[in-house]
Structure 1
Amino acid sequence: MANSYPAEKKPVTFGLVAGEASGDNLGAPLIRELKRYYPDAHFVGVGGPAMIAEGMDSWFDMDRLSVNGFIDPIKRLPELLNILLTVRSRLLKTPPICFVGIDFNFFNLLLEGMLKRQGIRTVHYVSPTVWAWRPGRIKAIARNVDLMLTLYPFETDVYVENGIDVAFVGHPKAYDIELHDGSDKKAAARQMLAYGDEDPIVAILPGSRRSEVAYSGPDFLAAAGLIKNVVPGCRFLVAAANDHLASKINGLLLESGHELDIKVVVGQSREVLTAADVVLVNSGTATLEAMLLKKPMVMSYRLGSATYAIVSRLVKTKYFALPNILAGHELVPELIQEDATPEALCKAVLALFDPQTRDSLVSKFTTIHRQLRVEKHEAAKAIQILCGEHPGGGDVSA
């Protein structure tokens, strides 16, 4: 029996899978923007509370997909395989107009391949770091993905070179953080953390993993001990991802014997960064957030010697800090492995207290911030172009 909807108003279904909180945070605004193109659309698959709040029908609790390390995925392989095959079966039974895998690369790329072979359009949202390491993955991506959505503009090149449709859609943090939040909200962040407007403050972000804190924490704290001897009244704020890491950091502080005006703050890295004058940070997305808040920073990273020997041979990118990768040249000092001595960290941090240096960095960081703030609906627009259907009725002009 023919359905009663006019052709241009036919309701559509989108399949989506997010496997962790970061993907859920990307998926929710994507659903919201897709509704502007497809007002009557249904959204099914696996998502977290933010996506569910936008009306998604999540077939599984997203936390069931959450795995860490190497051993946990192996132990939970039967459960993960069951979820993978169940999602595939349900999507093939009632095919969506498109499937969007949000990050969660191994699971979603497998699922995307299964669906694409059955004629379902596939989109992968958040590029795997093929530009940095394991470039051979591009062949599997070409087989499994119809459209790649990237968060950073430089990521598109490798897909264009390999004939894969790609769209740069901007980074959500570039919208979440306004252009002048780092200065406009600085006084309030300091007040909340019980510091004054004139206090010189260095933020320390030693990492979100226990191993990162173990390797970089001692060097960062030793550098703080040297900095306080040069910068009178310098205060230090350490951002800890959770109570467990806070305990680890406090233990390292006791072991170090350094007498510092220091506060360990749990779960408030944004406030810690906003309050700071200069940031000493482990590599990772924290460098992006520091840049978006226009904070001069020194990036440092340490690994175990054996791990570093392997990783350094696999990584193909010239830089590790996202601001440097985005700029295409060094804006942020990078002190890696044996170069990450307390003395070198101290020297690099002290240089960033120079007003001219800081003003120059703020200007360059602002330029990059603007580049990452494309129109909010770019991801949904790229998907609509891929799907080639527009039921109409949605307001996509705002």
Structure 2
Amino acid sequence: MTAQTPSEIPQTVFAIVVGEHSGDTLGAGLITALRLTHPGAKFIGMGGPKMQALGFENLFAMDELSVMGLVEVLGRIRRLLYVRKTLVEYFESHKPDILIGIDAPDFNIGLELKLKEKGIKTVHYVSPSVWAWREKRIFKIAKATDMVLALLPFEKAFYDKHKVPCTFVGHPLADDIPMESDKALARNNLGLPQGKKILALMPGSRGGELSRLLKDFFTSAQQLLAQDRELVLVAPMISEKRVEQFNALKAELAPDLPVQVILNKTQAVMTASDCLLMASGTVTLEAALIKRPMVICYKFSPITFFLGRRFVKLKWFSLPNLLTNKTLVPELLQTEVCPENIVPLVKERLYQDQSQLNASYTAIHQQLKCDASKQAAKAVLNVLEKND
């Protein structure tokens, strides 16, 4: 039998679809791990800048899916349906070896279902919060995917109970972030002072989050600064677009508030800070792994909150609390997000000992440190190589 030359070996095509920056990070780690065994593979779909830097081919901009909340999604439903229809048609005609939807479940599960029906193997990376609300979605997930990759251990237990294939892979952030984060070094690198308290204002990565949270964040910061004139305020931003929005809102709401805006260095800013006033999201897990005190806030649009609270059955909404099954860090939701609540919580975390909190953070870190990208790639290849 004549051996195939490299040019004759079929190229493996991995289709990947992500919808936000955290998914871009996961996608980049997965691509890097898959390239170890498939160096000539092609990666195509929807990705962000980290994935594109690794040679990923974009069919649509990742920001197409960066929308959250029932009302917000309805406002863009025609565009979202067009994007999904176009992707289905493209992948149906070009037949990738496997589709990996990363997060963005309301978009990706539907996409995965349509492509699985066409005979394309599918994996969903990052479990939707079926354990929190709309539990019956798990039956659609079972139809849509050959495997769910879970970042958190309690998620796999939920899927196992329902006999849906799931692999716990750990979290890439736990692999990337050191067990001990050097605050002094981070301050030197950012040009921040060593001897002062630093509070990071982190209102989120989406436009709606900034518009809903910043007024309360600014007012709280003004009150905290009035009580400690040495307090340093910093605000890490994920993009130029968010910087422009932040500056515009600050000019309107708190023009005299001294805040240093820092672009594309979120992890370094968190490391340099003494406390984080932040929106809920994956970044709260990042903060726990960096081991910084935090106060977590979130506001939905009023209609989204009214509709959603009837279905959500969570005692907590932030990852540090969900992972430890206790109120490890304070959470403020909707009308609770106000300076009267924020200021005392931030003061306590800025000026009091946090050693007990750090011990809990370390336990989270150790639980999630599993070489996640390697484990995810292994699970994807197991699905790819499995005979139907």
Range class of TM-score, shorter chain:
0.7 to 0.9
Whether the 8 Å contact between 2:169 and 2:370 is mirrored in structure 1 is: yes
Q: Considering only aligned residues, what root-mean-square deviation do their CA atoms show, in Å?
A: 3.1
Whether the 8 Å contact between 1:20 and 1:63 is mirrored in structure 2 is: yes
Output the CA distance in 1 between the equivalents of 2:191 and 2:379.
46
1:396 paired residue number? none
What does residue range 139-154 of structure 1 map to in structure 2 within 5 Å?
139-154=139-154
Q: Number of aligned residue pairs: give it.
A: 373
Whether the 8 Å contact between 1:324 and 1:330 is mirrored in structure 2 is: yes
Deviation at 1:177, TM superposition (A): 2.1
What does residue range 219-258 of structure 1 map to in structure 2 within 5 Å?
219-231=216-228, 233-240=230-237, 241-254=242-255
User: Could you give the per-residue CA deviations for residues 311-349 of structure 1, whole angstroms, max 9, x where no partner exists?
Assistant: 222222211121111111111011222333312211111
Q: Which amino acid aligns with 2:78?
A: I
Of 350, 357, 362, 1:361 maps to 357
Percent of paired sites with the same residue = 34
2:26 paired residue number? 26
User: Could you give the per-residue CA deviations for residues 272-318 of structure 1, whole angstroms, max 9, x where no partner exists?
Assistant: 22221111112122212221211101112233444322222222221
What does residue range 344-359 of structure 1 map to in structure 2 within 5 Å?
344-356=341-353, 358-359=354-355
Whether the 8 Å contact between 1:131 and 1:158 is mirrored in structure 2 is: yes
Deviation at 1:72, TM superposition (A): 3.2
The DSSP-based 3-state class of the residue aligned with 2:328 is coil
- The runs of 5 or more residues in structure 1 that have no matched partner are 391-398
The DSSP-based 3-state class of the residue aligned with 1:317 is coil
Output the CA distance in 2 between the equivalents of 1:59 and 1:320.
32
1:165 paired residue number? 165
Deviation at 1:12, TM superposition (A): 6.4
User: Could you give the per-residue CA deviations for residues 243-297 of structure 1, whole angstroms, max 9, x where no partner exists?
Assistant: 222221332113xxxx654333344332322221111112122212221211101
Q: State yes or no: 1:87 paired with 2:91.
A: yes
User: Could you give the per-residue CA deviations for residues 69-97 of structure 1, whole angstroms, max 9, x where no partner exists?
Assistant: 43334146445413321212221xxx62x
Output the CA distance in 1 between the equivalents of 2:80 and 2:166.
33
Q: State yes or no: 1:291 paired with 2:288.
A: yes
When normalised by structure 1's length, the TM-score is 0.82
Of 290, 306, 310, 2:307 maps to 310
Output the CA distance in 2 between the equivalents of 1:109 and 1:369.
29
Q: State yes or no: 1:386 paired with 2:383.
A: yes
When normalised by structure 2's length, the TM-score is 0.84
1:42 paired residue number? 41
The DSSP-based 3-state class of the residue aligned with 1:242 is helix
- Quick one: structure 1 residues 264 and 100, their matched pair in 2 at CA, closer, same or farther if it must change by over 3 Å? closer
1:202 paired residue number? 199
Q: State yes or no: 1:16 paired with 2:15.
A: yes
Whether the 8 Å contact between 1:201 and 1:234 is mirrored in structure 2 is: yes
Output the CA distance in 2 between the equivalents of 1:126 and 1:76.
20
The DSSP-based 3-state class of the residue aligned with 1:313 is coil
Output the CA distance in 2 between the equivalents of 1:64 and 1:156.
29
Q: Which amino acid aligns with 2:295?
A: V
1:277 paired residue number? 274
1:393 paired residue number? none
The DSSP-based 3-state class of the residue aligned with 2:350 is coil
Output the CA distance in 1 between the equivalents of 2:86 and 2:272.
46
1:114 paired residue number? 114
Q: Which amino acid aligns with 1:276?
A: S
